[in-house]
Structures are given as C-alpha cells and as structure tokens.
Amino acid sequence: MYMAECNVCYNDCSYGVNCFAKCSYVICHNCFLNLLNLNIVDCVEYSCPQCRNKSVKNNDKRFTRFINNNKKCLKKIVQLYESKLEQTNTRTLSSAWNEFNTQTNETPMTYPIIYFDYDNLIFNN
C-alpha cells in the first residue's frame, strides 16, 4: 500500500490526489474537496496549490473523469450549487424587500388617518 503525505495539511494519506497538470503535487482527498469551487460561469474548477493550473470540469478530461467517479466530490459539488442558489435567493429576496420598502415610503398618503378612542366608548344593550 502506497502512503503519501499531503502537501497542504501534512497528514498521511493512503489515497492522494495528484495534480491534473504536469506537476507532481499530492494532496489528500479532504484538502482537494476544500479547494473545489465554482467559477464565475458556475463551472466546477480546481486550482493546484503549487503550479496554479486551473482544471475546469468538462474542459479537462482527467479532472472531469475523476470528479464523476467520486461520490464525495459529487456531494461537494451539490453543496456548492446549493450554497450558490441560497446566496442568489437571499440576494433576490433582499433586493425585493428593499424595493418594496422604497415604494411604500415614497407613495404619498392621499387619505386621512382616523383614530378612535375606545376608552370612552359606551355600548348600549
């Protein structure tokens, strides 16, 4: 069994992830999952900590094959998309609430407000 040391967290790992470019950088699976992220166009990408090569899913065949065959990676990708969706929905809700507040504060009241004093009101039986 081959033991490698993660170059990020320095833990021993029996299964290391090699860089998808030409460098020989090895990281453990947990560090690899932490380095996965979504880019501007919502594609999954990984940047090697040593050579800074960016591997983008569906552009790099080795990276895409590795991601598609690994359940933990797929779970992490789902979490990334869920958090992105949650941020988008929060931003949309926040802007809708601000727009609503702006509209309600800007519309002038055209009807008088009438207050009733119920303390002195007497009901007839």
What's the rounded mean pLDDT across residues 91-111?
Answer: 68
Structural contact between residues 29 and 72, judged by C-beta atoms closer than 8 angstroms? yes
Task: For 20-77, write each residue's pLDDT tens digit.
Answer: 888 888 888 888 888 888 888 888 898 888 888 888 888 888 888 888 888 888 898 8
In this predicted model, which residue has the larger pLDDT, 25 or 91? 25
Residue ranges covered by each domain of the chain: 4-103
Structural contact between residues 27 and 4, judged by C-beta atoms closer than 8 angstroms? no
pTM beyond 0.75: the answer is no
Q: What is the DSSP letter of 45?
A: E
**pLDDT, position 27:** 86
